[in-house]
Structure 1
């Protein structure tokens, strides 16, 4: 394990010129970058990078080395930051007239036609109500995850439906086999009656595949990655680019330890399924381009990939919120009344995060990555690191108000 002192010394041993900053208004954002650097220098993060842009123009960018060097070419496991991308893919199909958000999931995934739901106990089940496509995207569908305290989580583990692992297991049978195994398990609650972080976006990925006739990664590449110039984003890292993959770290006992159990190398293997809940890898610039697109109504650098109305559908609270907000607020430690759930992410409903932050659409990943896009300001911010769990060093929470204040100060 790396102690905080050893961490700091190792960071100093990396090239002192590790800060790479390009800016039209660098002075405004110096405190933001200095605060992020302090997370690294104090040993709270292994390394970090940040990109701040407004209306597609990069205002500041920094790559801060720590226990290892990173740079613009570094690739990161973005885990749940995959969810907004897949949600955007679903909304793009709505824009194309290929489906409706209120369509029943069973229309595209007939394996889900006769689901059961837990009643008062695991051995007491009842028929589930129809699940809608939208409910896959805002975690109200009743599907849980293999971790956490859901009653059905142990059933998932027994069925081989283990987060971040099932897609590499040939016995699962890819995305279709995953859906069959999920359908054999009961839902945690009736669709639309509660909120739980789960596998909904994986099934949304299957919906995309069945409508488009393409593998999920190919569809997202054609619809978003290629036109936006996101050449480094995908569901695995080709061997030729293995040296670009940043290390993965875990916070333990007051220090940071490199993950070395083999899972850190999983991204170097092409999975049997493209996991819509958390399978993507990306670079700071690539994901920043996606965030730019959302912040600017579906267009970046003159290339439109979504209608403005579709972006609004994606990035504003969708459907009734009362049933989902209590569990969402506990999960994300959000102040009551501060957020709503959009499709694939949350949206800030007031300015308490900073001047002009109302309307901010945001989500993060298990290894501390995160982004937000604020259409009212044309603002996008992307932060990358590789430290689990995400709660170990809440850098985004510290940086968010500083970014808004710096932007407001600059007029």
Structure 2
């Protein structure tokens, strides 16, 4: 559980828990009509989600929509645990995987705002073990010609991929060394990475990977405190994100959703049961790139802060300059567009925290967002004043919910 420590007297401390009902009730709310949306058209979201549940594409899910800074739609569907017959509720806790990345990026940008972290500085300034990185060059390894910068870690231009048994030489080495083993630590992670060559010269290509996990270690060093503590103190507590953390404590386990995978013949298999998940114990390695759990209301609060230019309820968490860098494309032209395997998302770039649609041909221009491995997703359209968060628990990642819900939401805009 994420406890908020409050001083009582001079030295006495007690722990208090922020209940999710209080969090959810504190979200600014309105009606679709008041914010220029058609309630009748938004009702189609429920039909689509219930069909996905009925056809066992997903066990259950949740969709929350905000416009002009106010929540106008918040519905739950299906079950969080099929075997136990437990429904998805408004305070259900989900594995958000790579939706962790934007939060860790925001933490790093706080340190940039404070002058404790430099985007153009070599990563080796903060992590000496990565001062002299090497690059894989065919069967050889050579010193990097370019500097690995802090910005490269944000942007996935670092040459640090995820591990894969059947991938490139670097990916195979990442997999074999257990770089992201949750029972180790971020310090041990970067020590292992020092022995693995980058896949390419920093800044010359874009490849999704573990750069944000390295950034989490940079945050620890620059802030002088563990990543979990920094996130709790500087982001989760100010925003009231009382259910977002790197693990699910025992008293919250009943609200945790089970994770599923589709069967070949149809239906769903359990791949991580909520009552015996590794997420029920605190990890040693705080994966800023993919280790958080949380709720839809929690993540909406984070995005509302970003949409509001870095402020929440009169408190500034991030500068306007940092928000702009997070939500606009910062990838060097030579590194190209966002790619996944052979698929190139032409017109989609990446900011210091989010993917960004840069052209109308690629989707809603200026839209930013991302997703998580268990098919959670979110997107923000600054032009429309719109935020959408969807969560379910299905692996491998499926864009089905996004693909079905997104046109309904945009089609519901009336003014």
Is 1:104–2:122 an aligned residue pair?
A: yes
Partner of 1:35: 48
Q: What is the aligned partner in structure 2 of residue 271 from structure 1?
A: 283
1:137-184 CA deviation, whole Å, 9 max, x = no partner?
1111011111362322221222122x5xx022xxx4x11011000111
Deviation at 1:295, TM superposition (A): 1.9
Match of 1:78, SS state, is strand
Q: Which residue of 2 aligns with 1:183?
A: 194
Aligned to 2:103: 85
Distance across 2 between alignment mates of 1:332 and 1:78:
25
Aligned with 1:308 (options 292, 316, 320) = 320
TM-score, reference length from structure 2: 0.85
SS of the aligned residue for 2:303 comes to: helix
Q: Which runs of 5+ in 2 are unaligned?
A: 1-28, 33-38
Secondary structure class of the residue paired with 2:161: coil
Greater strand percent: which structure?
2
SS at match of 1:202: helix
Following superposition of structure 1 onto structure 2, how do residues 4-403 of structure 1 map, counting pairs within 5 Å? 24-25=31-32, 26-66=39-79, 67=82, 68-121=86-139, 124-128=140-144, 129-147=146-164, 149-161=167-179, 163=180, 166-168=181-183, 172=184, 174-253=185-264, 254-260=266-272, 265-325=277-337, 328-331=338-341, 333=343, 335-337=345-347, 339-352=348-361, 357-391=364-398, 394-403=400-409
Q: Pick closer, same or farther for the CA change 1:333–1:263 going to 2, 3 Å.
A: farther
Q: Distance in 1 between matches of 2:395 and 2:118?
A: 36
The alignment partner of 1:276 has SS state of coil
Q: Give TM-score scaled by structure 1 length.
A: 0.86
Aligned residues: 373
Distance in 1 separating the partners of 2:317 and 2:277: 32
Q: Secondary structure at the match of 1:207?
A: helix
SS of alignment partner, residue 403 of structure 1:
helix
Counterpart contact for 1:295–1:374, Cα < 8 Å = no
8 A Cα contact 1:81 1:370, kept in partner: yes
Compute the RMSD of aligned alpha carbons.
2.1
Question: How far is the alpha carbon of 1:262 from its aligned partner?
Answer: 9.5
Structure 1: give runs of 5+ residues left out of the alignment.
1-21
Shift of 1:331: 4.5
**Alignment match, 1:17:** none
Contact 1:131 1:191 (8 Å CA) reproduced: yes
Partner of 1:152, secondary structure, is helix
Contact 2:155/2:331 (CA < 8 Å) preserved in 1?
Answer: no
Partners of 2:78 and 2:88 within 8 A in 1: yes
Asked if 2 retains the 8 angstrom alpha-carbon contact of 1:297 and 1:375, the reply is no
Q: Is the 8 A contact 1:156 1:185 kept in 2?
A: yes
Residues 48, 175 of structure 1: alpha-carbon distance in 2 compared, 3 angstrom cutoff:
same
